[in-house]
Amino acid sequence: MKRRSKPTSFFHRICASLFVLVLTLSIALLFDNCSNRAEGGHASDEVPQAKAGLQEEGHGPITLVLHGGAGTIKKENMSPELEEDYKQEMKKALIAGYTVLEEGGSSVKAVTTTLQLLEASPLFNAGIGAVFTNEGENELDASIMDGATGLAGAVAGVTTVKSPILAAEAVMQHSPHVMMVGKGAEVFAKEQGLEMVDKGYFHTERRFQQLQKIKKAEEEGQKMGYLDRHHPNRKFGTVGAVALDKNGNIAAGTSTGGMTNKKFGRVGDSPIIGAGTYADNMTCGVSATGHGEYFIRSVVAYDIAATMSYKSMSLEDAAHEVIMKKLVEKQGTGGIIALDRKGNIAMPFNTSGMYRGYIQEKDLPKVFIYKE
């Protein structure tokens, strides 16, 4: 009587091959995730990543991130006193915005609270201290987006609205539109009860003198003046904030005075949803600062969110790919702050410095200026 033969070794060979394949892929992914690419703040100890134990459907701790602009910002060109002033202003804004979150306020409220303080500081190119146009005016832009609802609001070219970010919020909350510009935006803001000011409210002597230097440079043959990539004072003083509230909702906002010596009603990326500002609970919130034309053409803020979604990348990796690779390849300069629903933070920049910071614990704001 014949005995049944044992299963062939073919089956065992297949199982062994599958095991080796899975093991190889696991090791490759492990090494990839552990690789350290600290350039421009990527994969550094500067920002926290998601804490172990968070459920996939959950969200991270209440978090607030801000920036005060990127550009040619070098320690050797900064006095210790001025450096401390910048840090204190950022800390004050972070604590104010975080207090809103701590008291149960929305991410939208935290963003507007934070940016109002930065708009009120002459150190930053937004609100008081905004740069001058070629005609000697201060034209202000701002935008905001709610990641929970997908609603957004923006204003551009306003000159008499005390807080452009509040005007942008009013467009989002109290109109069927997304963007309003110039005189029409000012009329709308006044009808909404927002505080209006004289144009001189935004003027500072420091910014006015910067305009004079740029005009002189143009007269001497530097046709692009401040737009020159090698200009020693090339900075993009936009301010921005991204917040995550207790309900896991993300909001992002950006406010700016634009670019020194801008002409012909030029508008940059700051009030453009998808370029300078973007928020979606499913991916992240982003606020950008840099040479706006490049950010508009590359739809930078949205591209980071889309990269996360379409390529299943982490926030950190997506932000790095867009700012440190794709934007650089197009010769675009600047940086972003970004925050996802887990409380992960990304703050990459391809310039020498960027005013930036975050807070995830009461009274413990973290602020940075240079490449750490």
Model confidence pLDDT, tens digit, residues 164-196 = 999 999 999 999 999 999 999 999 999 999 999
For residue 245, give Cα distances in angstroms to 51, 75, 98, 102, 257: 17, 34, 9, 8, 28
| Predicted confidence (pLDDT) per residue in 243-286, tens digit | 999 999 999 999 999 999 999 999 999 999 999 999 999 999 99
- Rounded Cα–Cα distance for residues 127 and 132 (Å): 11
Between 218 and 19, the higher pLDDT residue: 218
Whole-angstrom distance, CA of residue 10 vs CA of residue 308: 41
Q: Which domains does the chain have, with CATH numbers?
A: 60-370 (3.60.20.30)
CA distances from 36 to 4, 42, 135 (A): 56, 8, 47
What whole-number distance in Å separates Cα of residue 70 and Cα of residue 125? 11
Task: Answer for the pair 349, 323: CB distance below 8 angstroms, yes or no.
Answer: yes
Structure confidence at residue 19 (pLDDT):
59
Q: Report the C-alpha gap between 324 and 335 in whole angstroms.
A: 9
Exposure class string for 117-149: b at 16+ Cβ within 10 A, else e: bbbbbbbbbbbbbbbbbbeeebbbbbbbbbbbe
- Decide if 179 contacts 156 (C-beta within 8 A): yes
Give me the active site residues, please. Answer: 238
pLDDT in tens, 192-236: 999 999 999 999 999 999 999 988 888 887 655 444 444 444 456
